[in-house]
A and B are shown apart, each in its own frame.
Chain A
Amino acid sequence: MPHSDTFHHALVVDDKKCIRCTHCIKACPTEAIRMVNGNIEIREERCVDCGQCMRVCPHNAISIEQDDLAQIENYRYKVVLIPSVFIGQFPQNITENQIYASLLKLGFTHVYEVEQPIEVLKTLVRREIKENRSGLPVISSFCPAVVRLIRIKYPAFTEQIMRVKAPHDLVAHYILDNFSKQGINAEDVGFFYVTPCAAKIAAVKSPIGEKESVINGVVNANHLYNKVMAVVETVEETNVEPLKNELTKEGIQWSLTHGETWWQRAKTISVDGIHNAIRFLERMENDQVSGIDFLELRACDRSCAGGVLLSQNRFLTVERLKERAKRYPSSSIKTEAEGYERFSELEPLCITENIKPRPLLLYGSDMGKALERMERARSIMCHLPGIDCGACGAPTCQALAEDMVNGLAKMSDCIFVQQQWQNDGKITPQKAFGKMENKWGKNRFDPDCTKRGAKDESF
């Protein structure tokens, strides 16, 4: 898939399901969502694909676009790449073997968990810390939502992001290497990655720091979960052990919180949850963090176990994976016994180019004009109530003021200002109501029993 400097976004709003309730607008950590002419709009340059909006939507109106599974038919070798958390979300009574066998039954010819052979990533992470190109801590590149967040809001730290690709790239190259030894042509192989979140899918569609992704299609984890559940009772015991040759303790836990840190000797910190990540980056920016060599930042609470596309409880997923990891060998011991040399060809394939900052300049790049706009926005704030109700279609009064000076909103968007104007006799109630309808859509305020807490909750 081609590389471009624009962000690909996987989050899509269904205007028919959306009831214009502003939950998503207020939950977005980068203030990327607005109500415009009766529809939800996601501002591309601000969205980091963290999926918070999708989590809070009470009407399931936000979804993540995916590729059609039928595309696997275009390839002779149909390889499904699953993150270990995909296994973790199934109930304990369904065995690993059954899950693998179900995926084979669904039409894939090969099933691989992505976190193998993880020793390659461990080696690259250690090297990044040792080389210390741009100051410590080295920041993990694992979570694409965090990488985007840093590029737009903490551009000064962009150079500290490690130039190491994701596990799905690693395993794809590992498989291609194995296949070529068996005489299989790379063009005949189709890789389908099962994503636990919006950010991973967006990262595959517009990869940062590499020309193009080796992945051919992306499927949502919840979609495939349902498909597996539908056939799991009917599958027969299959020998899938050869597909897990390089699966290890470290690999299985890689996408969990501390996955990139627990095996390290260096001084590390692991932070999960996008708001925690933001607070930590703020602290770093204020020079209040020192003596840390490596920083693991993950956008979801409990990291990928809390991915927005995983169906089950994140704590149970973590528990299952921790138990499972106990049954697998340690990557360090295994590699020492079997030799690392056989992976050394994979190393250069798992290194990215430099990641570039993409600072978000609210008021444009011209300093004089920007100062003027900022001053105007601050004056406007004197007239807004500071309640941050979201009824204007912006997440906060401050965001509304910023939109106003950038020509994207009007003073009359504020319902409190409208009340004030009516009270002062400046506009008629009819005119005020008309403005509201412009913003929220005609008939938005007619009685409607299809909503949470009303008579019909069947949406």
Chain B
Amino acid sequence: MVKLRYEIEGGNFDLAGTASSQVKKVLKQLNISQLLIKKIVVALYESEVNVVAHAYKGHIEVEIHPERVDMKITDEGPGIPDVESAMKAGFSTASQKVREMGFGAGMGLPNIKKNTDYLKIETVVGKGTTLTMTKKLDYAT
């Protein structure tokens, strides 16, 4: 099993995507299909951008196993007051400033759900959010 860890800085859009890009480079060194890599990287990228756009700081932990990739994204931030709405495509609480930069289209969490096999959202309003997700390395797909 290989463990990876990356810090994420809230508000720094310049670096948004760095961690998921690094994970991509690691996954490419292993014999994993391009399609699976893409799904994992999309899910990670969306969660990374969520932290950058909404939270103060956070980190990504990735565990690569032969049969699955586990990912955990933890942030200190405002939390999600209404998880059910946040899961709907197009629902966004992103500020005007964030939208102007091309983020905050309300596709983050729905996209993460679509690209992973397991997703758990734990959130405390005013404290922060933790996403736990898994992608199975099932070569039949």
Contacts and interface: CB of A to CB of B under 8 A. Distances in A.
Contacts of A370: 29-31
Contacts of B34: 155-156
A184 interface: no
Contact of B1 (A285, A366, A375): A375
A223 B65 CA distance: 54
Interface in A365-385: 365-368, 370-371, 374-375, 378
Given A367-B31, A370-B30, A286 B45 contact: yes
Contact of A368 (B21, B32, B66): B66
B140 interface: no
B47 to A, nearest CB: 15
Nearest to A369: B66
A362 to B, nearest CB: 5
Contact of B29 (A156, A286, A362): A362
Contacts, number: 48
A367 B30 contact: yes
A371 B28 CA distance: 12
Interface in A343-374: 359, 361-368, 370-371, 374
Nearest to B139: A367
A212 interface: no
A448 interface: no
A361 B31 contact: yes
Interface residues of B, number: 21
B24 A371 contact: no
Contacts of B32: 367
B30 A286 contact: no
A371 B29 contact: no
A457 interface: no
B29 A363 contact: yes
Interface in B78-115: none
Contacts of A286: 17, 20-21, 24, 41, 45
Contact of A374 (B17, B21, B30, B65): B30
B29 A361 contact: yes
B2 A374 contact: yes
- Residue from the set B20, B34, B41 with the largest chain A CB neighbour count within 10 Å: B34
B42 interface: yes
- Residue from the set A359, A367, A374 with the largest chain B CB neighbour count within 10 Å: A367
A67 interface: no
Nearest to B41: A286
A361 B27 CA distance: 10
